[in-house]
Amino acid sequence: MTDLTAETPQQTTPLATAKAQLAGAVEILGYTEGLHRMLATPRREMNVAVPLRRDDGQIELFTGYRVQHNISRGPAKGGLRYSAGVDVDEVRALAMWMTWKCAVVDVPYGGAKGGVTIDPRLYSQAELERVTRRYTSEIMPIIGPERDIMAPDIGTNEQTMAWVMDTYSVNQGYTIPAVTTGKPLAVGGSLGRATATSRGVVHAAAAALGDAGVQLREVSAAVQGFGKVGSHASRFLHDAGTRVVAVSDEQGGVMRSEGLDIAALERHVLTTGTVVGFDGGEAIDNKELLALDVDLLIPAAVEGVLDAEAAGRVKARWVVEAANGPTTHEGDRVLAERGVVVVPDILANAGGVVVSYFEWVQANQAYWWTEREIEDRLEHRMVTAHRAVAAVATAEGISLRDAALTIGVRRVAEAHQIRGLYP
Ligand code: NAD
């Protein structure tokens, strides 16, 4: 039976954080224990062995997971993560957050996530292709454009999504682009998908600042993580006039108090693979970045970086969560006590799933929209969701996170209750 809460409030695993968040929303909503248990429990999970024949002929074995947390509002939807340390509990937490996220921005999906225990940096393209195809064929029975739709996450990219789509399509006997999103344009991807999460983050930041009468061009920012989400977010912030003073990746960070030259930094990363060593700023580490005296802090890397201790050192007035689960439950409490406004992940980074939804709609209709249409509709969705969340937060006197969670959880619970229990 699903344990509904973390054993201690200090637990900092993503699943402990996700469970504590759900428990908080259930308390606000006054739901029964039975409904709480249904909302907390993944609907379907699959664990698979993923063997790889390496280029030198050696065999290695990875574990693959796909967790469909909820499918009451539509097909399961969520990313695929390649990371050596990924485990089923991390995937469960990420799948649960996808459920609430899809409901908050009102796209007709449930939530899912996948993972394979591989560090993609240590393998050739041919090896990654073989791993992706084997994982896809192992989980084939539970995925599909009407069942479960995959997208990129940490360690995967649009090429991975093309391999998943091809493996699925070859096995079905015809081309089915809607089984993945975040694909290359040449095989049914959508304009604007590669940058959608980051654009959404910037819309969310602008909306939160706007509530306090502040504009992006008036503030400074630090961004942790310079991958698919963090790099574009840094550039969009820079383009909006924000002084981006620091960025980092897994290896370290750089800072320049007058603002970094983001285009030059991107060129440096393209040639070296890291922000470290960029000569347009001084070196800092990730711990220092989180504690910088900036207005806006954007964690865009991994879970759990803002625990109680790190949260106690945050000087930013706003934290906009581009990553999933960057703040632990205790970290959240500390930030709230210190008056920091946190724009929660399930709202702030929802731009990715919004444009994934647009990509799926386009693929199903075989009719593609213009970039302008996509960007206008993305902005509209993000601003509408922000307004709804901010209105509930104000009316109920609760945080933006609790407001977003109660909206998302309530929509999913409504779908459960209207559909009824079978048999
Ligand atoms: P990515 O693999 O492209 O980039 C991750 C970045 O984080 C890299 O720069 C990496 O070096 C850095 N990093 C990793 N571990 C770190 C650590 N311990 N400290 C500091 N930096 C570290 O991944 P991404 O797609 O940009 O995803 C980043 C976050 O955004 C994840 O939490 C992901 O779940 C979330 N997210 C991604 C999308 C999307 O569309 N890609 C959508 C919603 C949410």
pLDDT (tens digit per residue) in 109-166 = 999 999 999 999 999 999 999 999 999 999 999 999 999 999 999 999 999 999 999 9
124 is in an annotated binding site: no
Superfamily of domain 196-343: NAD(P)-binding Rossmann-like Domain (3.40.50.720)
Quote the pTM value: 0.97
Residue 19 tokens read as 């469970």
pLDDT category of residue 10 using cuts at 50, 70 and 90:
low
Which of 113, 228, 287, 315 does the annotation list as catalytic?
Answer: 113
Residue whose CA is at the smallest distance from ligand 1 atom 37: 153
The pLDDT-based confidence of 4 (bands split at 50, 70, 90) is confident
Residue nearest to atom 30 of ligand 1 (CA): 323
Residues near ligand 1 (Cβ within 6 A): 152-155, 197, 224-230, 248-250, 286, 300-302, 322-324, 349, 352
- CATH code for the domain defined by 43-176: 3.40.50.10860
Cβ 151 vs Cβ 81: under 8 Å: no
Residues 6+ apart with CB under 8 A from 28: 396, 398, 402, 406
Q: What is the largest CA-CA distance in the chain?
A: 65
Return the percentage of the chain with pLDDT > 70, whole number.
Answer: 98
pLDDT, tens digit, 9 for 90 and up, residues 46-89: 999 999 999 999 999 999 999 999 999 999 999 999 999 999 99
How much is the pLDDT for 2? Answer: 64
Does 197 carry a binding-site annotation?
yes
Which token pair is 21?
């968040």
Taking 90 as the threshold, does the pLDDT of residue 3 lie above it?
Answer: no
Given a cut of 60, whether residue 9 has pLDDT beyond it is no
Looking at the predicted structure, is the pLDDT value of residue 6 above 70?
A: no
Q: Which atom of ligand 1 is nearest to the CA of 94?
A: 34
Domain with CATH 3.40.50.720 in the chain: 196-343
What is the rounded average pLDDT for all residues in the chain? 97
**Cβ–Cβ under 8 Å, residues 361 and 49:** no
Tell me where in the chain the CATH 3.40.50.10860 domain(s) lie. Answer: 43-176
Catalytic residue flag (residue 113): yes
Statement: residue 187 has pLDDT above 80 = yes
Which residues have C-beta within 8 Å of that of residue 95, sequence separation ≥ 6?
42, 67, 68, 69, 76, 78, 111, 112, 113
